[in-house]
Amino acid sequence: MSLLLGYMKQRKQYREHWVVALQNADVPVRLTAGMIDPISGAHMMVRYKALIPNADVVEVTDIGHYPQIESAELVLESIFGFIED
């Protein structure tokens, strides 16, 4: 289990690098997230929008940590909408 959670250390270690990369991305980026996810839901979306200029986000209500499983249709709509724009 500890190997699976290695990303927790990496989040702190590489935070600045990853945030700067998202802030300066020269390719389109969309974030789709479940708003009732206790780990990376509504609170994370607020922070993401504060850090990323002109953030392209899809906030999926009533969905938790696994939107691709909980509502595959909504995730597909988000993807197709993103690539069609």
d(CA 5, CA 56): 28
**pLDDT tens for the 85 residues of the chain, in order:** 777 788 888 989 999 999 999 999 999 999 999 999 998 999 999 999 999 989 999 999 999 999 999 999 999 999 999 999 7
Token digits of residue 44: 């994370």
Contacts of 59 (CB under 8 A, 6+ apart): 33, 35, 42, 45
The model's pTM is 0.85
Write down the pLDDT at residue 35: 96
